[in-house]
Chains A and B, each alone.
Chain A
Amino acid sequence: MTMTQSEIYQELKKCVKCGACMAVCPIYRQTGREEMVARGKLNLIEIIHNNRELPEAWIEAVDHCLLCCSCEENCSKEVKITEVIAAARIHQTEIKGLNKVKKGAFALLKNRIFSIAKFVKLGSLVQWILWRRLPRHSGLVRRLPLPGIDENMVVPILPRRNLDDILKKRKINPQLPSLLFFPGCATRYLHPQMGLDLIFVLEQLGFNAIVPTEFNCCGMVTWGAGDAATNTQLKEGNLKVFNDNAQVKTVVTGCASCGHALKEYDNLPQECEILDISEFLFRHKEKLEQLVAGRNLTRKITYHDPCHLRKGQGITKEPRWLLKLIAGENFIEMRHPERCCGAGGTFGLTHKELSRKILKEKTDAADATGAEIVTSGCPGCLLQLTEGAVVADSSWQTEHPLSLLAELLRNS
């Protein structure tokens, strides 16, 4: 996914400055600033190309990108904008180094001794000192004033046992055909129930989900932060797992960003196919329709398109088919489901105010549907949407479509 200098130059030359990116950029929509939209960013990157002196405006512009791919989807010249931005961030990291917080966080992703798993476990013991459970939503907010964290910032409840722990004693049925399940960090460490839901649904369909504990982070977050070295290391680790399991051709994931990242890997084993869970289920449409057998959830549901699913992988019809299957007439589209929610990996943490403005439009659209549940196929979006519900004092819950499906199938 990392471009060479001459490839970047070719991309920059393709932009004709028509301005179509302005129609869809969530950051431009809020700021109205030309240097914050793809056309302006490409212009800045072109001017400063290969330069070791990085002006403040350049850093600010390159930093102000959600990597939501909206501009790319709307670009008639097919400029690979997000890849250029990622390459610019790598350039910046090479010159200025990575900021300390990200450096520390990424160390957890690759360190086997003090791993993210241990960090989360430790956190699960002490989280209650500083954080309290939300009364109406799944998540935590601060108890006391904390630097850089406002009263509405939602963090996930850290579970004592992660997905790997829970699956240790799992018995699998060797008769069933197998596929690999790439849970991604959020599912693996923060929401293991989501992983169990996915495994359960696959079993119902007659598949065995293998979940190798050797999987790394997909690398999306390091790629987005310009940490090329860590990104490569994480990818190589995952490729090794794919190769070690080369007899299994299908890899499914329930995380839009992981799916997007994995599909962009250069050296996937031959015939290895990465699928978002909604794509996989769509391929087994008849079987799943039989399983659901016309039953519907009775709560009203709406759906937010995760950018990395819609714009990153071009997946729009499959999740909607799934939601209509489980909710029937109770599935209602919100206005502009395609617009980014403002999470953008760590963007929501580093640019709180702007991210909240983007989020506000999303929660307004969700409110207007009267839905009781807002769904999205991305753990990052789900956390952001939960925060949106807290900020807006909305009562709707957030769920992965797959968890709703599992609920429906379990209750039969």
Chain B
Amino acid sequence: MTELTEILQRQLALKLLKNGFHPEQVVTSAAALSCYGYDATRQQTEPMLALLPENEEQVKTILKIAGEKSLKIFPRGAGSGMSGGSIPTDDGIIISLTRMKQILEIDEENMIATVEPGVITGELQEEVSRCGLFYPPDPASLAFSTIGGNVTENAGGPRAVKYGVTGNFVMGLEAYLVNGEKIKCGNKCIKSVSGYDLTSLLVGSEGTLAIITKILLKLLPAPETVKTSLLAFASMSAAARAVNAMLKHQINPSTIEFLDHHSINAVRSALPFTLPEAADTVLLVEIDGPDALVKAQSEKLSRLFQDEALVLIEAKDENEREQLWLARRKLSPAIANIAPHKINEDIAVPLAAIPEVISRLEKLSQEIDLPIVCFGHAGDGNIHVNVMLDKNDPAQAIRGHKAIDEIFAITLELGGTLSGEHGIGNTKSAYFSKEWTPATIATMKAIKKAFDPGNRLNPGKIFPA
């Protein structure tokens, strides 16, 4: 930190303390600040100040005070993002919303929850389930990521196949513009077409347009039953055909996860059941809903694939269900044994393109001589591509980098997108112009300018520098 920023930091801190902030909410020491400069992408920067507001009035105060000095603002939830969305790319103030974690209302009649942005997604799920309700979006980080982060990154999860992503559940928002003014969008109405849909615009805006302070979330009745099955196939194309057949036969799974053969090999020994050597692709299928429907659909699933599937295991109880899920849960730590580092991208492609993507990535893996492990959400085309390498080996690092360029090129060529659920952040912004035309990007930038003319709100994200 330069002397100038240090003086500025002291001035700001004093002003905030005078305005009713508790010293615990104002982080000024360089050592502590280093803890607000990283996220799950392991980038490390040093913000000049981190603030932990406890209510929307305090958010407003911060924005007013920061505005006087034209300072940059970086909103932050749990800091568990996978694309650097919360990384302070420049001198500026972190607004950490972890202390705004009230569930303000669970409206059982309208089936809508009103929450502050710092509410932990898993805790919201737990609370609404006590009323017999259900908030379906289930990003892998749900036990610690915040709803605010989920909304601004438009996080998905395995259940997206049937239920959609976070954005499909956001009914309305309250947010503060960078100048400290409050906007409201959406409401509790199921049909609502009055004016531009600002709610959808703010969803997935990665904190670049406004600071969200209140969120209205749609809830569903909790499903009576969940049935989990594991199916193994001899090839990716056989598995892809199976996914297609399921959907065509009106089996409506909430989740269809897949593991490629690298993934299978990595977890095989940790599993409580045996998978044959010939198993090339594993599908983990979950069907939920009313008892009778789930039963009928599960039977149909078994009937359809009893010949083609190499293995078909149905979980009979919660314990067996957990055992089947082990295959997926053990995956991340298990693939870490393949190589010390991984570059992880979360591309998404149209459903029909999955076998093609997988086979081209296989070829790419041979060309660059690095293992590429794929797993993810077969039901919605969202694939987690992991290039395994040792970053300390410069030759491997270069090949890894080249692989990422190629992966994005293949994805876009097949009509896919750079990110299914992690967002662009600052780690993928360099590729952004490969996906969108100049006019499209210019339109997005014009919107950004309308919200934030000084480019002070989470700068350095989404758009290429």
Residues 5 to 34 of chain A near chain B (Cβ within 8 Å): 16-24, 31-34
Asked if A19 contacts B78 (CB within 8 A), the reply is yes
Residues of chain A contacted by B42 (CB below 8 angstroms)? 16-17
- Would you call A337 an interface residue if the criterion is a C-beta within 8 Å of the partner chain's C-beta atoms? no
Asked if A33 contacts B52 (CB within 8 A), the reply is yes
- Would you call B34 an interface residue if the criterion is a C-beta within 8 Å of the partner chain's C-beta atoms? yes
Asked if A34 contacts B79 (CB within 8 A), the reply is yes
Residues of chain B contacted by A43 (CB below 8 angstroms)? 34-35, 38
Query: Which residue of B42, B52, B98, B99 has the most chain A CB atoms within 10 A of its CB atom?
Result: B98
Residues 1 to 48 of chain B near chain A (Cβ within 8 Å): 24, 27, 29-32, 34-36, 38-40, 42
Which single residue of chain A is at the shortest CB-CB distance from B44?
A43
Asked if B122 contacts A23 (CB within 8 A), the reply is yes
Asked if A32 contacts B32 (CB within 8 A), the reply is no
Asked if B144 contacts A22 (CB within 8 A), the reply is yes
B144 CB to closest chain A CB, in angstroms? Answer: 4
- Would you call B297 an interface residue if the criterion is a C-beta within 8 Å of the partner chain's C-beta atoms? no
- Segment at the interface with B among A55-63, A270-278, A394-402: A55-63
- Would you call A44 an interface residue if the criterion is a C-beta within 8 Å of the partner chain's C-beta atoms? yes
Residues of chain A contacted by B31 (CB below 8 angstroms)? 35, 44, 47-48, 55-58
Asked if B35 contacts A34 (CB within 8 A), the reply is yes
Asked if A33 contacts B332 (CB within 8 A), the reply is no
- Would you call A52 an interface residue if the criterion is a C-beta within 8 Å of the partner chain's C-beta atoms? no
Which single residue of chain B is at the shortest CB-CB distance from A78?
B333
Residues 35 to 94 of chain B near chain A (Cβ within 8 Å): 35-36, 38-40, 42, 50, 52, 78-80
Q: Please name 6 further chain A to chain B contacts, defined as beta carbons within 8 Å, in addition to the given A19-B79, A20-B141, sorted by A numbering.
A: A18-B80, A19-B141, A23-B144, A34-B96, A55-B29, A58-B31
Q: Known interface pairs A22-B144, A23-B143, A35-B27. Does A17 touch B35 (Cβ–Cβ under 8 Å)?
A: no
Which single residue of chain A is at the shortest CB-CB distance from B143?
A23
> Which 8 residue pairs of A and B lie closest in terms of their CB atoms, listed nearest first?
A32-B98, A57-B32, A23-B143, A19-B80, A40-B35, A23-B144, A22-B144, A57-B31
Asked if B144 contacts A61 (CB within 8 A), the reply is no
What are 16 pairs between A and B in contact, CB < 8 Å? A16-B42, A17-B40, A18-B141, A19-B78, A19-B144, A19-B145, A21-B144, A23-B122, A32-B98, A34-B98, A35-B31, A43-B38, A48-B31, A57-B29, A58-B31, A61-B32
Which single residue of chain B is at the shortest CB-CB distance from A48?
B31
Asked if B39 contacts A17 (CB within 8 A), the reply is yes
Complex Cα gap A32–B98 (Å): 5
Residues of chain B contacted by A55 (CB below 8 angstroms)? 29-31
A167 CB to closest chain B CB, in angstroms? Answer: 44
Residues of chain B contacted by A57 (CB below 8 angstroms)? 29, 31-32
Which single residue of chain B is at the shortest CB-CB distance from A77?
B333
- Would you call A76 an interface residue if the criterion is a C-beta within 8 Å of the partner chain's C-beta atoms? yes
Q: Known interface pairs A17-B39, A35-B27, A44-B31. Does A22 touch B80 (Cβ–Cβ under 8 Å)?
A: yes
Asked if B29 contacts A56 (CB within 8 A), the reply is yes
Which residues of B are interface residues toward A (Cβ below 8 A)? 24, 27, 29-32, 34-36, 38-40, 42, 50, 52, 78-80, 96, 98-99, 101, 118, 120, 122, 141, 143-145, 332-333, 336
Asked if B40 contacts A34 (CB within 8 A), the reply is no
B308 CB to closest chain A CB, in angstroms? Answer: 34
Residues of chain A contacted by B96 (CB below 8 angstroms)? 32, 34
Asked if A34 contacts B118 (CB within 8 A), the reply is no
Asked if B333 contacts A76 (CB within 8 A), the reply is yes
Which single residue of chain A is at the shortest CB-CB distance from B41?
A17
Q: Known interface pairs A31-B24, A32-B98, A33-B24. Does A22 touch B35 (Cβ–Cβ under 8 Å)?
A: no
Which residues of A are interface residues toward B (Cβ below 8 A)? 16-24, 31-35, 39-40, 43-44, 47-48, 55-58, 61, 76-77
Q: Known interface pairs A18-B40, A23-B120, A32-B99. Does A47 touch B34 (Cβ–Cβ under 8 Å)?
A: yes
Which single residue of chain A is at the shortest CB-CB distance from B42?
A17
A316 CB to closest chain B CB, in angstroms? Answer: 14
Which single residue of chain B is at the shortest CB-CB distance from A59?
B31
Asked if A34 contacts B332 (CB within 8 A), the reply is no
Asked if B99 contacts A17 (CB within 8 A), the reply is no
Residues of chain B contacted by A40 (CB below 8 angstroms)? 35
Which single residue of chain B is at the shortest CB-CB distance from A21?
B144
Residues of chain A contacted by B38 (CB below 8 angstroms)? 17, 43
Complex Cα gap A55–B122 (Å): 35
A342 CB to closest chain B CB, in angstroms? Answer: 18
A239 CB to closest chain B CB, in angstroms? Answer: 35
Complex Cα gap A17–B52 (Å): 20
Residues of chain B contacted by A48 (CB below 8 angstroms)? 31
Complex Cα gap A21–B96 (Å): 17
Complex Cα gap A32–B117 (Å): 13
A336 CB to closest chain B CB, in angstroms? Answer: 9
Complex Cα gap A76–B112 (Å): 34
Which single residue of chain A is at the shortest CB-CB distance from B336?
A77
Complex Cα gap A190–B38 (Å): 46
A227 CB to closest chain B CB, in angstroms? Answer: 24
Residues of chain B contacted by A33 (CB below 8 angstroms)? 24, 27, 52, 98
Residues of chain A contacted by B98 (CB below 8 angstroms)? 32-34
Complex Cα gap A16–B122 (Å): 21
Complex Cα gap A290–B126 (Å): 40
Residues of chain A contacted by B35 (CB below 8 angstroms)? 34-35, 39-40, 43-44
B462 CB to closest chain A CB, in angstroms? Answer: 22
Residues of chain B contacted by A32 (CB below 8 angstroms)? 52, 96, 98-99, 101, 118
Query: Which residue of B35, B38, B122, B145 has the most chain A CB atoms within 10 A of its CB atom?
Result: B35
Query: Which residue of A35, A58, A76 has the most chain B CB atoms within 10 A of its CB atom?
Result: A35
- Selected contact of B36 from candidates A34, A61, A77, CB within 8 Å: A34
Complex Cα gap A140–B40 (Å): 47
A362 CB to closest chain B CB, in angstroms? Answer: 16
B345 CB to closest chain A CB, in angstroms? Answer: 16
Residues of chain B contacted by A35 (CB below 8 angstroms)? 27, 31-32, 35
Asked if B40 contacts A16 (CB within 8 A), the reply is yes
Which single residue of chain A is at the shortest CB-CB distance from B38?
A17
Residues of chain A contacted by B80 (CB below 8 angstroms)? 18-19, 22
Q: Known interface pairs A32-B98, A33-B52, A44-B34. Does A19 touch B40 (Cβ–Cβ under 8 Å)?
A: yes
Complex Cα gap A121–B347 (Å): 69
B6 CB to closest chain A CB, in angstroms? Answer: 15
Which single residue of chain A is at the shortest CB-CB distance from B82?
A18
Complex Cα gap A22–B29 (Å): 21
Complex Cα gap A57–B52 (Å): 16
Which single residue of chain B is at the shortest CB-CB distance from A16?
B42
Complex Cα gap A23–B101 (Å): 14
Complex Cα gap A115–B30 (Å): 44
A397 CB to closest chain B CB, in angstroms? Answer: 27
Which single residue of chain B is at the shortest CB-CB distance from A56?
B29
Residues of chain B contacted by A58 (CB below 8 angstroms)? 31
Complex Cα gap A61–B79 (Å): 18
Residues of chain B contacted by A39 (CB below 8 angstroms)? 35
Asked if A76 contacts B332 (CB within 8 A), the reply is yes
Complex Cα gap A85–B361 (Å): 43
Which single residue of chain A is at the shortest CB-CB distance from B142?
A23
Complex Cα gap A43–B35 (Å): 7
Complex Cα gap A376–B39 (Å): 37
Residues of chain B contacted by A18 (CB below 8 angstroms)? 40, 80, 141
Which single residue of chain A is at the shortest CB-CB distance from B97?
A32
A135 CB to closest chain B CB, in angstroms? Answer: 35
Complex Cα gap A20–B29 (Å): 25
Residues of chain B contacted by A77 (CB below 8 angstroms)? 333, 336
Which single residue of chain A is at the shortest CB-CB distance from B130?
A335
Residues of chain A contacted by B52 (CB below 8 angstroms)? 32-33
Which single residue of chain A is at the shortest CB-CB distance from B29?
A57
Residues of chain B contacted by A19 (CB below 8 angstroms)? 39-40, 78-80, 141, 144-145
Asked if A20 contacts B143 (CB within 8 A), the reply is yes
